[in-house]
Structure 1
Amino acid sequence: MCTEEPRPAALPAAEEALRTLRTGLWHWDTAAGVVTVDAEAARLLGWPPVATTVNENRVRARFHPVDWNEIDGIVRLAVTEDSLAEARLRIMDERGRVVRTVRSRSKPVFHPETGSYELFGVLQEIGEQPPGAAARSAVTGDWRRSREAFLLDAGRALAEARSTAEVLRVAARLSMPGFTPDGLAVFGVTGDHLTVIGHHGHAPGAEGPFAAMPLDTDYPAAQVVRTGRAVYLSSPGDYRRTYPTAWRLAEPFARQSWAFLPLVVAGRTIGAWMAAFSYEVTFTPDERSVLTTVARMLGQALSRAGAAENERELTDGLQRSMLPTLGPAVPGVQLAARYVPTGGGLQVGGDWYDVIALPSGRLALVIGDVQGHDVRAAGLMGQLRVALRAYAAEGHRPDAVLSRAGRFLSGLTDAVPYGATGPAPPGDTAETRFATCLYVEADPRTGELEIARAGHPEPAVRMVDGTVLQHSTAGGLPLGVDPDADYPTTRMVLEPGETLLLCTDGLIETGGHDWDTGWARIRATLEEYAGDSLEELADGLVQAVHGPSSYYTTGPLADRREDDIALLLLRCEHPEPTTPTRRTHLMVAQAEPQRIAAGRQQLRELLHDWADREQVDSAVLMVSEMVTNVLVHTDGDAVLAAEVTGEPGRRSLRVEVTDTSDDLPHRREPGELASSGRGLVLMELLADTWGVEPRGEGKTIWFELSEGPAKPEGADAS
């Protein structure tokens, strides 16, 4: 006899089962802005237990504002990870009091054509959190505030990181609120292989097995790179079951939980970030949200750092290719040079220097500055430097070299770089660029210098005793302004032991200085230097502007540099004379009477430490009269030469003014209203000795002063 087996009781309908479990259903259409709830969900939200469809604003009014603001981020994270969106939400009554806490679990569906979401989910009331879990609960305001503060600090630190190594150091120091990993690794992609960019919390060399892993390997980081989706492993068992092959590599590190997240930049996965924990982590939605946000910031920071490093490598190579070395040592000559690029952007601009060995056995020193700090300025600088080298090698004199270079640059900047038939790309035009330049031809055997200047700062000379003169030189327009411009030549002699300084205006005006205060700073540095090495002097000049070199090239001041800096130092190393001597030389042309003021200033600088300041005033007055007489009473130019010899306190000054006229001056007795005729009278009154010497062509008027003791302040001149 067969006995009938008992049949199981029929399963209740889904709606009845949910009611039994006190679980409500809801549907949210963000495109329409409406929420549909069943009777149980309506009850949990504090409404009558009747199925209804309401505007989403009515639902929003029932949730705690802090919790509602979290929903969008949770939904986006679930869409990214193709997972459920889970959140704990506080329900409030009409008076704003929290009456219950519910758990919401939903499956979001994203509609890319409208950018909207559609969510189907459940609501279920939950009890109070245990004390240990409350600190990390999604509804705990303190945890949220800690997380927001952490993300702000992390974002700021990663945004300020300038290199890949610095980004990794910042990532290693991140202390996440409530769950801090003790092992980190950042993976990159090279071809079809996974590479280890950096790691923290592991022994040196631990990255070996992971260093060149194929992307099709069954390893979590490789899968993350392939799919662009995060992998969370809450326990060693999860790891072992999901990745049995890779577990043999991970087991020796004795970690308990792992999170592998994609590093995404502009929609492209560029690598993966691993965060490993020595304790088990459940990876709640809040924790996953923090990790995802950090991974997004980390990817952006690594991308910026990589781009910056590539740019630095490019500009360093460009700089090395465009800036010359000083070449082999030249007997009897000591040279030093520096180039410091401007801060920000490309680390190369329009400043340059060059040292050229000439066929005549002389040496050409060139320093210049092309307008601008962009790629076009760097390109023009490179072409102009090559052109100047070619003209110098042909044996042209300094004035001819600059004249040809000016025509060359005018031809380059006037040309339309993109062809006559098509417009230039936006933001790039064929605007005219100019360049300043100082060209010096030096004879190492005699110290004789021939100088031609195109709108560039004048050279400075540091004498053996530390006196510094900014040497007045004739000049013309910057190169590229007028292709027919002339560049007169100035001759001077660099005495044994004296140092010639050529620099661009960045050395003078950087740091908020104007021309006068900038030169005062440079002069003080030159005067205070007591060593013999030009390399040390070059470093001292740059440090006077920026501080120590390791600081101004990489530290906070790196972005405060307003202009490129180039400087070139030259010293003739003949035996020093037994008697200290200072000399200066200046030509005042008929067409340049304004250079008389430069002569007065140059004489004051030559006598900067002369004991009797009234003698200095007298010498300046006599020089002004002598040079003015040449310009007024002759048709030629005046050549001023001044020399100081002897030991301090017992020195002699000799000043000569030479012209090409054979007419000798005569002493006259000027009337009270006469505008001339006082020159020789002044010399007789003020000079210790004076005289007129005829030359083969022209004459020289001279005077001498012997240094007297310093007079007390306010002493009677009589």
Structure 2
Amino acid sequence: MTDDDPRARSGEIGPAEWLAMNRTGSFDWDLDTGTIDVDATGLLVFGVSPGGFDGRPVTLVERLEPAERMRLDRVVRAAVSGGDTSYSTHFPIPQDDGTPHWTHVLARILRDGDGRAHRIVGAVRDTTAEVSHAAFVQQLEKRREVQTSIVERTTHALSRAVTVDDVTAALTGPGGLARLGADGLALGLVENGSLNVIALSGDRLEVLDGLRTRRLDRGLPLAEAVLSGRPRFVSSFAALGRDFPELAPYLERLPFRAACYLPLVAQARSLGGMALFYRGRTAFTADERNLALGLAAIVAQSLQRAILFDEERELATGLQETMLPRRIPEITGGEIAVRYHAAWSGRQVGGDWYDVIALPRGRVGIVVGDVQGHDTHAAAIMGQLRIALRAYAGEGHAPSTVLARASRFLAELDTNRFATCTYAQVDLASGTVRAVRAGHLGPLIRHTDGRVGQPKLRGGMPLGLATVFGEEEFPETRLDLVPGETLVLCTDGLVEQPGTDIEAGLAALSEAVSSGPPQAEAMADHLSERLWERWGSGDDVALLVLRRSPDPGTPRAPRIHQYIHQADPQGLSDARAAVGQALRDWGMPELSDDAELLTGELLVNVLLHTEGGAVLTLEVLPEPVRRVRLSVQDRSSAWPRRRTPGEAATSGRGLLLMDALASRWGVEPRGEGKAVWCEIGPARVGADAGGGNG
């Protein structure tokens, strides 16, 4: 625009002036002659003096780094040779002070009729301000993303925290400090006028162990933040040591350069304080202060919920424990372990219970049950029902009568609750178990060889409902515990997991019982750890483990016992193998074949001609001549009868085999049944007078 231009005389700014003001120039590159014409603003953008420009393209890019020159050249060549009509690129041009000025070139390629490029025209613009602003915005966004990530990850981790221990684990466990964006943490709770530091996490923070529990005063920065309700941001540990002389000796041993002490307040209640420590930070921006306060608010809310939960759980657990027996009586001939685990559900008290009752004639009553519901009413009903059932059992009534009276008692309480339970009278001297159940899980029996059985107990209706519907019949089932076997009773919380079939839980329980230790206490711990915690602790659990004392005999006279179920076809083979292996282990292999054959004959007679299982006992009798004694006990009162089988008969030869192989044999009455025994040894004598005849 010239001075004669009307826009100049009127003071109007034209396009050229606008471009110049925005540091935008233009260029015209003649590809045929290899010269380029650049206006003054364009030369200024390239950092070239207008008076010293020689019109060569190479002069424009002298300031560029070699790599940038090569990249720019590739962009232009690719556009020209590729038939493009334009190209655009950014590149930095170093200035005299070393700082880069970013430049943007936008060019149009002019071609002749044959498509040959002969001219390039375009604009060159200084974009340093834009790039710097973009970098600033990008850095700001990155910081905000980091802060948002810290808040989100911390919130997510604490959302799953239920107890105070869960909160501290989320803050101090793997990844806890990284989630907080800190290098160290101290967490303290106010309790009875003191500030108790319940968690320390970070390099060398254990030096503060001596300050974990202190009276709540202003002598330490964390307590001062709690009392004042205001945060303290520390950028100088030296200054912090001067303000809190008692802390100064500890600060010298810490590897941190900055810290923030934050009060933890939820719903106007001061819960405690949190300190965050940093290695590389020396100052806190406004955003960083706000982030720290936000984290404190999140932690405070989580702690408030956790403290309330712990208080409610303690109340519920205490109430439940008062309803359960304070002491388990000592028993002769066995060992008992009991466990009660409250559900992780705050104040939801359950109705699960167990009991062990001393009975007349040296017997013991055991019961595990569950009252419907999870509230204080269920717990109250449970307490009354437990006491009533204990009273009925202590009077010596049969198990079926005990449950019938307990059902009537529950119905007369005028409540809409019912209860399930399994009750058993156990004679540990003989191993006899008389069990009944009312809508409850049956027991498991772990045999001495580790196998686990699930006896089929005929059951009645749940207590209370049985009376309402006039069905107060609870049929008894007799079980036999041989020495060393274990009986397990539990409530459904040990085998039920939401969303899975109860059969899967029972299978897991059987596997855990089989793989567990033999001792009752150790077994109870094993089942609690394997199953109750595995299912997520969503329900109450009552557990009772009873083990009949093993009868190993002596090294000179060893002994084994084994129960063979009538419905277990494999049991006969297992029993024969166990007898043969025992004799080989005891150094009497020459007797194993005869003993296995007689074992099979004795057991087959019981399994075919009686209605129950059998208890097999194998023992060594050391005096006067070392020999083996086999005994098979059953519940039938019918004695074996000697027969003369024909040539084609497939049975009736059992007693003939005993006459041939045993040195002595006989039959003895055993309470409700009998025991058929035989002895195998070097000396052969006639059959004992008590032997079978006919």
What TM-score do the two structures reach when normalised by structure 1? 0.54
Choose which of 512, 519, 537 in structure 2 pairs with 1:533: 519
CA distance in 2 between counterparts of 1:321 and 1:227 reads 42
Q: How do residues 475-624 of structure 1 correspond to structure 2 at under 5 angstroms?
A: 475-483=459-467, 485-509=472-496, 514=501, 519=506, 522-523=509-510, 533-541=519-527, 545-546=530-531, 553=533, 557=534, 559=536, 564=541, 566-573=543-550, 601=567, 604=569, 606-607=571-572, 609=574
Whole-angstrom CA distance in 1 between matches of 2:259 and 2:511: 61
Partner in structure 2 of residue 158 of structure 1: 158
Name the SS for the 2:465 alignment partner. Answer: coil
3-state SS of 2:466 partner: coil
Match of 2:392 in 1: 391
Provide the identity percentage. 34
Shift, 1:286, TM fit? 0.9
> Could you list the per-position Cα deviations for residues 352-410 of structure 1 after superposition, in whole angstroms to 9, with x for gaps in the alignment?
22211235432111122223444443343333222222333334332332222212222
**1:317 maps to which residue?**
318
Q: Return the alpha-carbon distance in structure 1 between the equivalents of residues 290 and 363 of structure 2.
A: 71
Question: 8 Å contact 1:468–1:605 — kept in the other structure?
Answer: no
Alignment-derived partner of residue 76 in structure 1: none
Tell me by how many angstroms 1:477 deviates: 1.6
Give, in whole Å, the separation in 2 of the partners of 1:622 and 1:289.
85
Q: How does 1:361-440 map to 2 (within 5 A)?
A: 361-412=362-413, 414-415=414-415, 432-440=416-424
Q: 2:427 matched to 1:443?
A: yes
Residues 339 and 543, structure 2, Cα contact 8 Å, conserved in 1: yes
Give the CA deviation at 1:337.
3.4
* AA matched with 1:248: P
The 1:128–1:272 alpha-carbon spacing in structure 2 relative to 1, beyond 3 Å, is farther
Give the structure 2 partner of residue 297 of structure 1.
Answer: 298
Aligned-partner residue type, residue 533 of structure 1: Q
| TM-superposed deviation, 1:558 | 5.6
What's the secondary structure of 1:471's corresponding residue? coil
Q: Which moved more, 1:150-159 or 1:462-471?
A: 462-471
Matches within 5 A, 1:316-335: 316-324=317-325, 327=328, 329-335=330-336
Alpha-carbon separation, structure 2, partners of 1:402 and 1:502 = 16
Decide whether the 8 Å contact of 1:260 with 1:272 is kept in 2: yes
CA contact (8 A) 2:226 2:263 kept: yes
Match of 1:145 in 2: 145
Give 1:279 shift.
7.1
Q: State the secondary structure of the residue aligned to 1:501.
A: strand
Q: Which residue of 1 aligns with 2:245?
A: 248
Partner residue, 1:587: none
Q: Residue type matched to 2:394 in 1?
A: A
- The letter for the 1-side match of 2:546 is L
Say if 2:223 is the partner of 1:212: no
After the TM superposition, which of the residue ranges 186-195 and 563-572 deviates more from structure 2? 186-195
Alignment partners' CA distance in 1, 2:184 and 2:502: 55
Instruction: Determine the C-alpha separation between the residues in 1 that align with 2:447 and 2:168.
Output: 52
Deviations 1:178-206 (A, max 9, x none): x9665644444446665555555362345
Q: Could you tell me how far 1:534 is from its partner in structure 2?
A: 3.4
Q: In the TM superposition, what is the alpha-carbon distance from 1:166 to its structure 2 partner?
A: 5.4
Q: Aligned residue for 2:271? A: 270
- Offset at 1:306? 2.2
Distance 1:196 1:685, change over 3 A: closer
Q: What do residues 285-305 of structure 1 show as CA deviations (whole Å, max 9, x unaligned)?
A: 211121111111121222233
Contact 2:363 2:428 in 1 (8 A): yes
| Cα pair distance change 1:294/1:461, threshold 3 Å | closer
TM norm structure 2: 0.55
Change beyond 3 A, Cα 1:139–1:411: farther
Structure 1: how far apart are the matches of 2:171 and 2:143? 21
The separation in 1 between residues aligned to 2:407 and 2:558, in whole angstroms, is 44
Counterpart-to-counterpart distance in 1, 2:448 and 2:273: 63
AA at the equivalent of 1:362: R
How many residue pairs match? The answer is 489
Map residues 91-130 of structure 1 onto 2, 5 A cutoff.
none
Which runs of structure 2 are paired with 1:705-716 in the superposition (5 Å)? none
Q: Residue 287 in 1 paired to residue 288 in 2?
A: yes
Q: Distance in 2 between matches of 1:640 and 1:211?
A: 69
Q: Equivalent residue for 2:308?
A: 307
- Whichever residue aligns with residue 152 of structure 2, its letter is L
Provide Cα deviations, 1:605-635, integer angstroms capped at 9, x if missing partner: 75474789xxxxxx999999989xxxxxxxx
Contact 1:455 1:476 in 2 (8 A): yes
640 and 651 in structure 1: CA distance in 2 versus 1, 3 angstrom threshold: same
- Amino acid across the alignment from 2:490: C
Letter in 1 for 2:371: V
CA distance in 1, matches of 2:499, 2:604: 35
Contact 1:235 1:280 in 2 (8 A): no
> Which whole-Å deviations, capped at 9, do the CAs of 1:492-547 have from their partners, x for residues lacking one?
54344443333334445559775655555555565667x7533344455556x53x
Once the two structures are overlaid, the 10-residue window that deviates more, 288-297 or 154-163, is 154-163
Q: Return the offset for 1:152.
A: 1.7
Secondary structure of 1:486's match? coil
Q: CA deviation at 1:213?
A: 3.1
- Measure, in 1, the Cα distance between the counterparts of 2:332 and 2:635: 33
Give SS of 1:292's match: helix
The alpha-carbon deviation at position 454 of structure 1 amounts to 1.9
Alpha-carbon distance, 1:151 to partner = 2.0
Structure 2 counterpart of 1:502, one-letter code = L
Partner residue of 1:424?
none
**In 2, Cα distance between equivalents of 1:605 and 1:341:** 40
Cα displacement string for residues 106-155 of structure 1 (whole angstroms, at most 9, x for unaligned residues): xxxxxxxxxxxxxxxxxxxxx98999x99998972221122222222222
Task: List gaps (5 residues or longer) in structure 2.
Answer: 1-127, 578-601, 620-628, 639-647, 656-671, 678-694
CA distance in 1, matches of 2:374, 2:633: 46
The alpha-carbon deviation at position 658 of structure 1 amounts to: 7.5
CA contact (8 A) 1:316 1:347 kept: no
Which of these two proteins has the greater Rg computed from alpha carbons? 2
**Contact 2:488–2:543 (8 Å) recurs in 1:** no
Question: Which secondary structure state, in structure 1, belongs to the residue aligned with residue 420 of structure 2?
Answer: strand
Give the letter for the 1:146 counterpart. V
Instruction: Provide the alpha-carbon RMSD of the alignment.
Output: 5.5
Secondary structure, in 3 states, of the residue corresponding to 1:262? strand
Matched residues in 2 for 1:520 and 1:231: separation?
A: 57
Q: Secondary structure at the match of 2:328?
A: coil
Q: Alpha-carbon deviations, 1:162-185, whole Å to 9, x = none?
A: 5545544654676579x9665644
CA contact (8 A) 1:221 1:260 kept: yes
Amino acid at match of 1:300: Q
